[in-house]
Amino acid sequence: METSVEKRASWSGSVAFVLAAAASAIGLGNLWRFPYLAAQYGGGMFIAIYIVLVATLGFALMVTEIAIGRKTRQSQLTAYSHLHKGWGFIGVLGTVIPLLITPYYCVIGGWVLYYFKAYVHMAFTGANIMGEAAANSGEVFASFISAPFAPFGYGMIFIIACAAVITLGVKNGIEKSNLVMMPILFLMAIALSVYVVFLPGSGAGLRYYLVPNLDCFIAPDGSFSPALLGKTLLGAMGQMFYSLSLAMGIMVTYGSYTNKSDSIEKCVRRIEIFDTLIALIAGLMIIPVVYIFAVKTGTDVKEAMNAGPGLMFITLPKVFATLGAAGPWVGAGFFLLVIFAAATSAISLMEACVASVCDVMKIERMPATLFTVCLMMFFSTFSAIGYGPWADVKLFGMQFLDFFDFLTNSALMPVVAVATCVFVGWVLGPKSVIDECEAEGQTLTPKRAYSLMVKYFAPALLTMLLVSEVCRAMGIGGWKI
């Protein structure tokens, strides 16, 4: 059976693993959150801080998760208890995270499907459902997400499509789908970014994005502000954490499919390069056109950039409308790219859940996938109609989707990451991970740096992130990232 240690599925090689892990990391967070955070927090300065964090903290966390998966040949649900029965709670929490994220992530994936269909329709028919200059883009978005059935229906299509890939297995499903989707995603991202870079007036937007700007560290009285520096650091750390798919059980599960002969260090470095490159290209696609739009319409640039998720569904349609006849085609291409990015991440999230069901229930992939899909459909209902028929029902003052996002990304993920670092740093010892990385003659170059990071720096930084995220969500002390 595929779930046993002896016959557990595996990647065909390190390239397949890197593509799968990179596909997981490259998701919606790269395409809307990274660009607006970079624009808000000093452009090139934010990018530099982000890259340093990816190469240090992100590296240590990803190496740890992959090594745990490969060492135990288990999904995250059972991997930690396999190493130490007293620390199995990490695996339980790590399994709850993708179980809660996947349903609302697929609902957002359904939103993207709807927008892709809408832009294809506009491109071929000349219809303009967004109104003149996309003035009605906000109303169109609000009307769609508050509809009684449409968000649920599109979300179900997205879930079923991802499940179809999962049922085919690791090699025939996940691996082969990534071999198709990842090159297409990468080429489309480059094509769109090249198109944007050569638009008239894009130079000012590129400078706004790429040139380091220290103004984000300056207080209103003109003095240097350590608090603003801290916000920038924590903003970059939160983005890195979310973007690299850390503490979601994905890297533990994918690590369990890797071969002992694969170099974990080399794989992680390649994943980081892929993920960071796509994030940077996303900025090239989005920031210059939003900047051009802000200048043309007299909108405050920071206000246009700081639209959050609305940047994709409300602001960008206004931007596409300024491109004339090419706008619908650019919009359709952009949302197709987003579909691939969302699908690759959703597949990895769902695989983490399916692998856990396989390992704990000792059943084959097909029934495990069907069981998981039923759970996904049930939980997705809350997020799908949470802005419509159930709009008045709130948890701690938040809509269902917002609450699930806060619970997983702001609370559970940092907790799991801190617990993992304490477990590896002080219970198992860093040597256990280092030895796994150096199996069959492979090496882990920064051994001393890794040990210091996982024992001291990572727990401290992640605790700061947890506190800041909770304060931000609860509106404590005016903290906002």
pLDDT one-digit tens code per residue, 334-359: 999 999 989 999 999 999 999 999 98
CATH architecture of the domain with range 14-478:
Up-down Bundle (1.20)
Find all residues with CB under 8 Å of 376, minimum gap 6, and list them: 102, 103, 106, 159, 163, 350, 353
- Averaged over 170-188, what is the pLDDT? 85
360-364, 427-431, 476-480 — which one is most confidently predicted on average? 427-431
Q: Give the pLDDT score at 7.
A: 63
- Averaged over 5-14, what is the pLDDT? 71
Confidence of residue 159 (pLDDT cuts 50, 70, 90): very high
The Cα–Cα gap between 337 and 332 comes to 9
- Averaged over 444-452, what is the pLDDT? 93
Terminal Cα distance for the chain, rounded? 46
Which tops the pLDDT comparison, 98 or 7?
98
Q: Give the pLDDT score at 379.
A: 94
The Cα–Cα gap between 421 and 465 comes to 14
Which tops the pLDDT comparison, 79 or 43?
79
The Cα–Cα gap between 251 and 268 comes to 10
- Averaged over 178-188, what is the pLDDT? 86
The packing angle between helices 150-167 and 365-384, to 10°, is 160
Instruction: Kindly report the average pLDDT of the chain as a whole number.
Output: 88
pTM: predicted TM-score of the whole model, two decimal places: 0.90
Q: Give the pLDDT score at 395.
A: 87
Percentage of residues in the chain with pLDDT exceeding 90?
Answer: 46
Confidence of residue 380 (pLDDT cuts 50, 70, 90): very high
Domain ranges across the chain: 14-478
Confidence of residue 154 (pLDDT cuts 50, 70, 90): very high
Q: 104 burial class (0-12, 13-18, 19+ CB within 10 angstroms)?
A: buried
Find all residues with CB under 8 Å of 6, minimum gap 6, and list them: none
Q: What is the pLDDT of residues 282-324, one digit of tens each?
A: 889 888 888 888 888 777 777 777 666 677 888 788 888 888 8
Alpha helices by DSSP H, 362-396: 365-384
Q: Give the pLDDT score at 306.
A: 67
